[in-house]
């Protein structure tokens, strides 16, 4: 997606060529339309062995990336490939409350139901702007909002909602701005106010970058922790949110 954006801005062919090489690799090495639901797998490991699970996050990325390739090249094959990835995302949406599951187990079929992360909920909306994923954004507001001292915002997943994940704050604020339902702008502003408070007051901050979590030890549910340390991802998503720049769309 970065290469696509660079090409769209500079019109330098090498960036589009790079994007096409990457997209072709994904198509040739990660496409799985045999095991249902169809979509794209995790790719290959360092020993060039297949990573056989299918990730909702990855398929959202592929949906957006291949859609951008279709726009830039006019090649409808990329549009069809994007539709395959998005069909996997749709298959991961729970019918009761609209949230999205993480993806599948390594068998490529069984849904992985633990944990339920924040990012796929808002990324699905940002990547597609499809109203069906409005429910997943609402699920974040209803289920994952953490309150930790003076800070409020989404946590990483339903495993631990005691601390704010500031990378997710930028993602949620941007999705709320894009969705534009009643009260969304005020909700987005409140989330970003808390990020800006952390920028000013966090002990590990420098007044510029954004720390990863509101307190040390935020459990992701995937076997690792986030800390209140300066973080590129959190800072980048804050900048995307305040400039209302959707990285999934050209």
Domains of the chain: 1-113 (no CATH), 116-250 (1.50.10.20)
What is the structure's pLDDT at 149?
97
CA 158, CA 170: separation in Å to the nearest integer? 18
Q: Where are the alpha helices (DSSP H) in the chain?
A: 2-10, 13-30, 56-73, 76-91, 119-128, 134-143, 166-179, 184-201, 232-242
- Across the chain, mean pLDDT equals 98
105-158, pLDDT tens digit by residue?
999 999 999 999 999 999 999 999 999 999 999 999 999 999 999 999 999 999
Token pair of 165 as six digits: 């994940």
What is the structure's pLDDT at 132?
97
At residue 16, φ and ψ (nearest 5 deg) are -65, -40
CA 204, CA 91: separation in Å to the nearest integer? 41
What is the structure's pLDDT at 130?
97
Enumerate residue ranges in the chain where pLDDT < 70. none
Q: What is the pTM of this model?
A: 0.96
Residue keyed to tokens 């702007």: 129
């Amino acid at each position: 997606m970065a290469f696509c954006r660079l090409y769209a801005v500079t019109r330098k062919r090498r960036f589009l060529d790079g994007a096409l090489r990457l997209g072709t690799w994904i198509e040739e090495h990660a496409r799985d339309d045999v095991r249902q639901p169809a979509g794209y797998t995790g790719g290959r490991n360092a020993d060039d062995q297949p990573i056989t699970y299918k990730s909702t996050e990855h398929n959202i990325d592929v949906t957006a990336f291949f859609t951008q390739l279709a726009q830039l090249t006019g090649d409808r094959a990329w549009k069809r490939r994007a539709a395959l990835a998005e069909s996997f995302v749709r298959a991961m949406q729970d019918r009761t409350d609209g949230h999205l599951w993480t993806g599948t187990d390594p068998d490529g079929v069984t849904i992985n139901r633990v944990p339920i992360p924040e990012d796929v909920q808002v990324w699905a909306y940002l990547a597609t702007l499809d109203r069906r994923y409005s429910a997943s954004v609402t699920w974040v507001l209803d289920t994952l909002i953490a309150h930790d001292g003076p800070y409020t915002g989404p946590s990483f997943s339903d495993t631990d909602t005691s601390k704010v994940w500031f990378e997710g704050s930028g993602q949620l604020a941007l999705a709320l701005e894009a969705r534009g339902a009643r009260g969304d702008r005020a909700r987005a502003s409140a989330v970003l106010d808390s990020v800006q408070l952390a920028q000013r007051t966090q002990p590990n901050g420098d007044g510029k970058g954004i720390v990863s979590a509101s307190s040390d030890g935020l459990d992701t549910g995937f076997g690792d922790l986030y800390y209140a340390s300066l973080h590129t991802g959190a800072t980048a998503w804050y900048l995307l949110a305040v400039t209302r720049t959707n990285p999934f769309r050209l």
